[in-house]
Structure 1
Amino acid sequence: MTSPRQAADRRPARRWTLLPGFVVLGTLFLPPSTVGPAGPTVKDETFITAETGGLLHIEAGECFTDPAYSPEAAEVVVLYTPCKEQAANQSYGFVHAPDGAWDPAALTTFARESCRRGFDGNWSGESASGLDFYPVMPTRKTWADGDRDVMCVVYSPEGSMNGSALPLARW
């Protein structure tokens, strides 16, 4: 019979390493600003997926954080953030992808084109200055579960946004 101490001796030691540039607030690890030494972060269809924790709680028009590891959830999550608190991202709509077999290339094309139309419809000329968009797409797993929704997200490549980016929210 193995004693608890002997069993503990056989387990590999856990080592906690805080990656450079991360800040500890309470027990939540937050990523650095989207502007770093290398310049602005470019977000694309791989930045966040439908499987990212917390994403299903975000509705159209709502703001949220960039993904970060949460020890409480034991996974990478995004958190709802009031837009007035300089959020990193804002959902501006959802589009429903056509049913069919899982085809990542076709889904990426559909998501980029659909979100581009929504972005161009909301922000054109001067109002688009300093903003960009990215789609959040279903994964192979969520597609198999029937998920066909693509979330369209606006963000500022230069960092957090000051308030809602939606044109109607400015009135």
Structure 2
Amino acid sequence: MRTPARLPVHVLALAAGALVLAGCSAASEPERDDAGAIVATEESADVFAIAVGDCTNDPDDGADELLSVEAVPCSGPHDNEAYHAEDLPDGDFPGEEEVTAAADEICFDAFEPFVGLAYEDSRLGYGSLTPTSDSWADGDREILCLVADYEGEPLVGSAQGLAE
């Protein structure tokens, strides 16, 4: 059995990061260029609008359930970059522990191909945004993996191929 992921302290809030009822969110879609990259900071971006390649900053309140995040251009300093998304199979909500374990496996497996270095050798860590039982009931199955600096330093640019 693999050792659980070492999560950067500032990603822990996102690791439990519950995606909750997108329809009820007052958050908005971030502004994007023609290629789909975020071009302006959106302090209250709908968490369901965050996609692979997007960069975000951690919430200040340490919330366990998120409706919105601060979405920022990846060219500037940011806490996290979404590097992989994968849906869990349909069916009944498997439970928080099972979702967390699945997210750990999914994000761990996608880490090295994205960063270009084995997780164990990297200065980077990962966390995830995962469905809650409430968002699951609304059809949410997505695990969204986020890479961040293990020491909590901001990233600038993409971590793809960084090999650090």
Q: 1:118 aligns with which of 103, 110, 124?
A: 110
Q: Which has the higher contact order (CA 8 A, sep 6+)?
A: 2
1:27 paired residue number = none
* Matched residue SS, 1:78: strand
* 1:41 equivalenced with 2:9 (yes/no): yes
Contact between 1:57 and 1:80, CA under 8 Å: does it hold in 2? Answer: no
Runs of 4+ in 1 over 3 A off after TM superposition: none
Contact between 2:56 and 2:81, CA under 8 Å: does it hold in 1? Answer: yes
1:143 paired residue number = 136
Q: CA deviation at 1:88?
A: 0.5
Contact between 1:67 and 1:76, CA under 8 Å: does it hold in 2? Answer: no
CA RMSD of aligned residues (A): 2.7
TM-score by length of 2: 0.65
Q: CA deviation at 1:42?
A: 5.3
Contact between 1:68 and 1:78, CA under 8 Å: does it hold in 2? Answer: no
In structure 1, stretches of 5+ residues that fail to align are 1-39, 70-74
Contact between 2:57 and 2:71, CA under 8 Å: does it hold in 1? Answer: yes
Contact between 2:10 and 2:58, CA under 8 Å: does it hold in 1? Answer: no
* Matched residue SS, 1:115: helix
Contact between 2:112 and 2:118, CA under 8 Å: does it hold in 1? Answer: no
* 1:55 equivalenced with 2:40 (yes/no): no
Larger radius of gyration: 1
Q: 2:72 aligns with which of 81, 86, 90?
A: 81
Q: CA deviation at 1:87?
A: 0.6
Q: CA deviation at 1:55?
A: 1.3
Q: CA deviation at 1:82?
A: 0.8
CA–CA distance in structure 2, aligned partners of residues 136 and 163 of structure 1: 21
Q: 2:127 aligns with which of 107, 114, 134?
A: 134
Larger strand proportion, structure 1 or 2?
2
Instruction: Tell me the percent identity.
Output: 29
In structure 2, stretches of 5+ residues that fail to align are 1-7, 28-45
